[in-house]
């Protein structure tokens, strides 16, 4: 089983001590949207570290200063790791928005460095940075990822369910042991996990990550009282379960049905 470790480990310890963003595109108050923008989040104390990411702002963003937008945090797979942030747009929502500039979500897509894996601390720090700078609807924050990012989605979403209205892990899996304390917690996290929307996807002939990985996670959540959880298996698909998943408008309609109000979905 893939284990999730820290990437830029020292930065994970520095999130609470200082950070800044390097802006290379529009500011949070502009209305220029409809394209991916390369950004960089820099942690400055006690030692500088950087996280590159793509940011997509919807068309019309900023025209109404009172409007808040839903946000998708997307975690790419192992093949896109490295120093070229444009690789993040090879798959998933950052690829989808290239041909759908009217996509009604803010999309944040960080880049994981070569030979490293996703860090919960770094991702939460970046999410805090984005929600503080941009017009994000905090009740409609969603998490998704594929392969290595699918593992990251399971881990981050189950550890911090109160931060997300719904999660979409694609051809991933996870470790059940860290989820147990969250599930058994009274109120707070425990209730948030039980009301988290979960839609997992997997290829029925995946030679890289066995389909049983998603089945095990979904069945365990159902067994422990999570109501809004389902799994879609593409019978003839291999590891690439993401192309069909992220090109399906139904997925994004499903996401928008979910809000983080202590309930799984809108009535």
Q: What is the pLDDT of residues 50-108, one digit of tens each?
A: 889 999 999 999 999 899 999 999 999 999 999 999 999 999 999 999 999 999 999 99
| Residue 193 is assigned to a structural domain of this protein | yes
| Residue 100 is assigned to a structural domain of this protein | yes
| Residue 46 is assigned to a structural domain of this protein | yes
**What does the pLDDT read at residue 171?**
98
Average pLDDT over residues 173-195: 82
Enumerate residues 6+ apart whose C-beta is below 8 A from 27.
Answer: none
User: Can you tell me whether residue 43 is helix, strand or coil?
Assistant: strand
CATH number where 114 lies: 3.40.50.1820
Burial tier of 215 (Cβ tally within 10 Å: 0-12, 13-18, 19+): middle
**What does the pLDDT read at residue 190?**
87
| Residue 262 is assigned to a structural domain of this protein | no
d(CA 37, CA 85): 10
Beta strand residue intervals within 89-239, DSSP E = 106-110, 136-146, 166-170, 197-203, 229-234
| Residue 113 is assigned to a structural domain of this protein | yes
| Residue 60 is assigned to a structural domain of this protein | yes
Phi, psi of 43 (to 5 degrees): -90, 130
Please check the confidence at residue 45 and state whether its pLDDT lies above 80. Answer: no
Domain with 58, as residue range(s), is 9-24+35-256
Please check the confidence at residue 10 and state whether its pLDDT lies above 60. Answer: no
Enumerate residues 6+ apart whose C-beta is below 8 A from 223.
Answer: none
| Residue 30 is assigned to a structural domain of this protein | no
Please check the confidence at residue 15 and state whether its pLDDT lies above 60. Answer: no
For the chain, give the mean pLDDT: 84
Burial tier of 3 (Cβ tally within 10 Å: 0-12, 13-18, 19+): exposed
| Residue 195 is assigned to a structural domain of this protein | yes
d(CA 70, CA 40): 21
**What does the pLDDT read at residue 152?**
97
Please check the confidence at residue 242 and state whether its pLDDT lies above 90. Answer: yes
68-79 confidence digits (pLDDT tens): 999 999 999 999
Angle, in degrees to the nearest 10, between helices 120-133 and 148-159: 70
Looking at per-residue pLDDT, the higher value among 2 and 220 belongs to 220
18 confidence band (pLDDT: 50, 70, 90): very low
Number of compact structural domains in the chain: 1
């Amino acid at each position: 089983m893939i284990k999730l470790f820290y990437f830029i480990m020292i930065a994970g310890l520095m999130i609470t001590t200082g950070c800044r963003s390097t802006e290379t595109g529009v500011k949070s108050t502009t209305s220029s949207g409809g394209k991916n923008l390369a950004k960089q989040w820099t942690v400055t104390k006690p030692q500088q570290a950087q996280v590159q990411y793509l940011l997509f702002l919807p068309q019309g963003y900023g025209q109404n200063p009172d409007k808040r937008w839903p946000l998708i945090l997307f975690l790419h797979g192992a093949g896109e790791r490295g120093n070229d942030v444009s690789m993040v747009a090879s798959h998933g929502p950052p690829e989808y928005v290239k041909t759908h500039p009217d996509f009604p979500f803010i999309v944040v897509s960080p880049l994981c460095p070569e030979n490293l894996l996703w860090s919960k601390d770094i991702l939460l720090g970046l999410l805090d940075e984005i929600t503080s700078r941009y017009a994000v609807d905090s009740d409609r924050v969603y998490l998704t990822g594929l392969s290595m990012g699918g593992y990251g989605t399971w881990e981050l979403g189950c550890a911090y369910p109160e931060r997300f209205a719904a999660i979409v892990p694609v051809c991933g899996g996870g470790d059940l042991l860290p989820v147990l304390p969250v599930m058994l917690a009274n109120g707070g996290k425990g209730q948030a996990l039980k009301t988290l929307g979960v839609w997992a996807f997997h290829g029925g002939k995946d030679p890289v990550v066995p389909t049983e990985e998603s089945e095990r996670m979904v069945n365990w959540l159902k067994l422990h009282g999570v109501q809004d959880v389902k799994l879609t298996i593409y019978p003839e698909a291999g590891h690439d379960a993401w192309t069909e998943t992220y090109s399906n408008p139904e997925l994004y309609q499903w996401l928008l049905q979910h809000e983080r109000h202590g309930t799984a979905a809108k009535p």
